[in-house]
């Protein structure tokens, strides 16, 4: 008994020492990361883990709610066996279909419900892009071709002090490079690497300090590479330009005006800190659908329709000189773009898309929006995720008449 007690105390001491060393090290963020993932049976972030973050409210206006028309049988629409199995396998929280401004399908799966907020993950990249476009329309930012250093003079400086080429790259970095994922940052996008930069940005307590360490190590505008750090820089520049937190700007210029039915939350790096704007916009599924409606309705007078049209053109079809890299045929200005064959027709889709299968899928030809939130997805390498294909096909089969 005494031996077992000694072993337990010794083990506890070792664990305590390791935690202390981690707390004092540059990897302090791992403590939070371990608490919110491995200790909860997860291997990566979770679409409901926003509850454990500091957040800032994105207020709505109860007097300006613009509800969808509600089909009386929307909760009773049957799911095919294939769709039901996919929704279960991917640990879905919600599945909604809006057709011509009517909510025709609405399903929720425990522990999620219609009043719950889901983490958008990278769907927030598209939201950040829309907010930046609004600032451009209002003249707060001159254009997408503005140098990033006009708003964030520190970008790339630490690396530029040691490397003259990096300094020139940082000087040429523009907002357009950030929105098109051609920024050339020294950033490895990984959602499972505990010691990686994406984990540090997500679980750390000072996202701006993290971004100050990032080099611009490639000539911007030459290679497409999906990097959350690019959108984080865009959001920091936007916040600097408008002189207020992004959540407040989003409330004033977007959330109240699309007629959101409830406040959203934007996760912060710490209490009263900065928004994690490359991810982490937390909202109800119905309100995510309203962002899809905004796109289908050509900006609803809030976002310039010409910008939206351009943003939904793949990079490899836009005359931006020199861009190469994988997936340029599927990515525009912060929109994912896909062709989907169904029923002998090809449908053009534009999507807000986030980690673990957060989707706002717009089908312009049908005036349809498909929303799915949850905690898993199934891939189709180089193409639209297999799960999202099925979510969309089922909606088209059932409601496209």
47 lies in some domain: no
258 lies in some domain: yes
Both 251 and 339 in one domain: the answer is: yes
91 lies in some domain: yes
Both 167 and 21 in one domain: the answer is: no
Both 187 and 111 in one domain: the answer is: yes
370 lies in some domain: yes
Both 77 and 16 in one domain: the answer is: no
205 lies in some domain: yes
Both 135 and 242 in one domain: the answer is: yes
Distance set, CA 94 to CA 2, 37, 70, 266 (Å): 52, 22, 16, 20
Cα torsion 228, 223, 308, 155: sign: positive
Both 92 and 22 in one domain: the answer is: no
Consecutive H or E run containing 371: strand 368-374
Report the CATH number that the domain containing residue 186 is assigned in CATH. 3.40.710.10
**Shortest CA distance to 211 belongs to which of 158, 175, 287?**
158
Distance set, CA 247 to CA 131, 275, 278 (Å): 10, 7, 13
Both 206 and 244 in one domain: the answer is: yes
pLDDT of residue 32: 72
The three state secondary structure string of 97-118 is: EEECCEEEEEEECCCCCCCCCE
Both 37 and 70 in one domain: the answer is: no
Instruction: Give the count of beta carbons closer than 10 Å to the beta carbon of residue 127.
Output: 28
What is the rounded distance in angstroms from the CA atom of residue 293 to the CA atom of residue 273? 31
- What ranges make up the beta strands (E) of 238-363? 264-267, 281-283, 336-342, 345-354, 358-363
What is the rounded distance in angstroms from the CA atom of residue 296 to the CA atom of residue 69? 16
Both 96 and 6 in one domain: the answer is: no
Report the SS3 class of residue 297: coil
Say if residues 30 and 357 touch (Cβ distance below 8 Å): no
Q: Which residues contact 80 (CB under 8 A, 6 or more apart)?
A: 394
How far does Cα 276 stand from its chain's mean position? Answer: 10
267 bridge partner residues: 55
Tens digit of pLDDT at every position of the chain (401 positions): 555 555 544 544 444 444 444 444 556 676 675 777 766 667 678 899 999 999 999 999 999 999 999 999 999 999 999 999 999 999 999 999 999 999 999 999 999 999 999 999 999 999 999 999 999 999 999 999 999 999 999 999 988 788 999 999 999 999 999 999 999 999 999 877 778 899 899 999 999 999 999 999 999 999 999 999 999 999 999 999 999 999 999 999 999 999 999 999 999 999 999 999 999 999 999 999 999 999 999 999 999 999 999 999 999 888 666 666 667 889 999 999 999 999 999 999 999 999 999 999 999 999 999 999 999 999 987 789 999 999 999 999 999 87
Both 367 and 229 in one domain: the answer is: yes
Tally of structural domains, the chain: 2
Both 117 and 208 in one domain: the answer is: yes
Which range of residues forms the domain containing residue 30? 2-42
pLDDT of residue 8: 45
Model pTM score: 0.92
Q: Which residues of 26-37 are buried (b: 16+ CB within 10 A; e: fewer)?
A: ebebbebbeebb
Say if residues 236 and 274 touch (Cβ distance below 8 Å): yes
DSSP string over 27-91 = TTHHHHHHHHTGGGT-SS--TTGGGGS-EEEE---GGG--PPEE-TTTTT----HHHHHHHHHTT
Q: Report the relative pairing of strands 102-108 and 69-70 from DSSP bridges.
A: parallel
Q: Report pLDDT digits (tens) over 278-297.
A: 999 999 999 999 999 999 99
Say if residues 215 and 159 touch (Cβ distance below 8 Å): yes
Both 144 and 253 in one domain: the answer is: yes
Say if residues 48 and 111 touch (Cβ distance below 8 Å): yes
**Shortest CA distance to 136 belongs to which of 260, 366, 310, 275?**
310
Say if residues 50 and 265 touch (Cβ distance below 8 Å): yes
Q: Which tokens sit at 373? A: 């939130």
DSSP string over 139-206 = TSS--TTSBGGGT-TTTTHHHHTT-HHHHHHHHH-BHHHHHTT---BS----SS-TTSHHHHHHH-S-
């Amino acid at each position: 008994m005494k031996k077992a007690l000694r072993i337990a105390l010794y083990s506890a001491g070792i664990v305590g020492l390791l935690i202390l060393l981690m707390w004092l090290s540059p990897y302090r963020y791992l403590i939070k990361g371990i608490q919110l993932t491995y200790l909860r049976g997860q291997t990566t972030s979770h679409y409901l883990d926003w509850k454990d973050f500091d957040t800032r409210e994105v207020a709505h206006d109860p007097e300006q709610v613009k509800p969808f028309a509600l089909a009386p049988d929307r909760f009773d629409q049957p799911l095919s066996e294939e769709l039901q199995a996919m929704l279960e396998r991917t640990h879905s929280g919600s599945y909604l279909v809006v057709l011509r401004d009517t909510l025709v399908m609405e399903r929720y799966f425990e522990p999620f419900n219609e009043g719950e907020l889901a983490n958008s993950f990278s769907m927030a990249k598209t939201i950040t892009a829309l907010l930046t476009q609004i600032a451009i329309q209002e003249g707060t930012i001159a254009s997408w071709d503005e140098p990033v250093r006009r708003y964030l003079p520190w970008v790339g400086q630490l690396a530029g002090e040691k490397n003259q080429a990096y300094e020139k790259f940082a000087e040429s970095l523009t907002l357009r490079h950030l929105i098109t994922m051609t920024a050339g940052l020294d950033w490895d996008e990984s959602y499972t690497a505990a010691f990686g930069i994406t984990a540090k940005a997500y679980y750390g307590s000072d996202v701006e300090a993290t971004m100050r360490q990032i080099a611009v190590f490639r000539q911007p505008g030459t290679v497409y590479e999906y990097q959350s750090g690019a959108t984080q820089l865009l959001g920091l520049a936007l916040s600097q330009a408008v002189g207020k937190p992004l959540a407040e700007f989003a409330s004033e210029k977007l959330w109240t005006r699309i007629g959101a039915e409830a406040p959203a939350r934007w996760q912060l790096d710490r209490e009263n800190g900065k928004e994690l704007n490359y991810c982490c916009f937390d909202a109800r599924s119905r309100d995510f659908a309203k962002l899809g409606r905004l796109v289908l309705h050509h900006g609803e007078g809030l976002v310039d329709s010409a910008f939206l049209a351009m943003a939904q053109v793949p990079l490899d079809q836009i005359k931006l000189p020199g861009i190469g890299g994988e997936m340029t045929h599927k990515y525009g200005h912060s929109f994912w773009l896909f062709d989907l064959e169904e029923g002998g027709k090809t449908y053009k889709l534009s999507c807000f898309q986030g980690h673990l299968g957060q989707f706002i899928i717009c089908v312009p030809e049908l005036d349809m929006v498909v929303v799915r939130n949850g905690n898993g997805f199934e891939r189709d390498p180089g193409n639209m995720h297999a799960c999202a294909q099925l979510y969309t096909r089922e909606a088209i089969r059932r409601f496209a008449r």
